Amino acid sequence: MTRIVVEQKVLKENDRLAAGLRARFRDAGVFCLNLISSPGAGKTTLLERTLEGFPAGERVAVLTGDIQTENDARRLACFGFPVRQITTGGTCHLEARMVERALADWRLEDLELLFIENVGNLVCPSSYDLGEALKVVLLSVPEGDDKPLKYPAIFHKAELLVLNKLDLLPYTPFDLERARAHARRIHPGMEILEVSCTTGAGLNTWRQWLKERREAARREAALTR
């Protein structure tokens, strides 16, 4: 019996494609965010609120992933920015090759900001790098404040936590302080924003965060060029 040492990542091919995408985003000056949450936490609604706040001509686009239907792309397309649906046909997450294919005929040079809305799922999307600058995880109040402890992988890997549906706090046992503490136990120093896409509370802070991170990414790209 011979033991052959291999030591390679199982997702080596996905990681290779993601690295290629990351380099293309960097070269074209595109700041890319990968939005991840369970189904129904409000990813599409957050994007609607975000897109409606942008002036016409803003260089923003969205790729939105779902197992079936073009519903989300239809919801998002009415703001006049490029939107493309990726239907995975059963796969519970997006992979780098799907993003690469969806971007094939887009000119990245025309964009500055790209949102990738992942398939609603708190587990599987955490394993797949899509070439994004960073991952954002959404958690909504009705889901409960213990989700960071139950799904540590995504809370560990995401740089920002957006707590959504704050308007529902009076109707559930959700404890905001506990949710923050759970998230920071998994990910010390994690950035947390609290919003309600229904009332609009906190959305200005989210827009400000986006603006600052875009500028920081732009400065960083200028330095490495």
Contacts with another protein, residue ranges (CB under 8 A): 1-11, 13, 91-93, 123-124, 126-127, 149, 152-154, 156-157, 184-189
In DSSP terms, 83 is beta-bridged to 62
What is the rounded CA–CA span in Å between residue 139 and residue 85?
Answer: 22
SS3 64: strand
Backbone angles phi, psi at 163, to 5 degrees: -90, 115
Q: Quick check: helix, strand or coil at residue 171?
A: helix
Nearer to another protein, 1 or 223 (CB): 1
Q: Considering beta carbons, is residue 49 or 135 the nearer one to another protein? A: 135
State in angstroms the smallest separation of the CB of 182 from another protein. 11
Q: Which is nearer to another protein, 26 or 135 (CB)?
A: 135
Residue among 59 and 156 whose Cβ is closer to another protein:
156
Block residue for tokens 């000056």: 29
Mapping DSSP to helix (H, G, I), strand (E, B) and coil, where does residue 115 land? Answer: strand
In the complex, least distance from residue 192 CB atom to another protein, rounded to whole angstroms: 14
User: Two tokens at 117?
Assistant: 């809305």
Distance, CA of 196 to chain centre:
17
Nearest approach in angstroms of CB 100 to another protein is 17
Residue 153 or 168 having the CB closest to another protein: 153
* Smallest separation (angstroms) from another protein to the CB of 16: 12
Measured CA to CA, the distance from residue 108 to residue 96 in angstroms comes to 16
Closest distance of CB 188 from another protein, Å: 3
Nearest CB to another protein, comparing residues 75 and 184: 184
Torsion angles phi and psi, residue 160, rounded to 5: -125, 140
Min dist. Cβ of residue 220 to another protein (A):
21
Check residue 90 and report its DSSP letter. T
Question: Is 96 within 8 Å of 71 (Cβ atoms)?
Answer: no
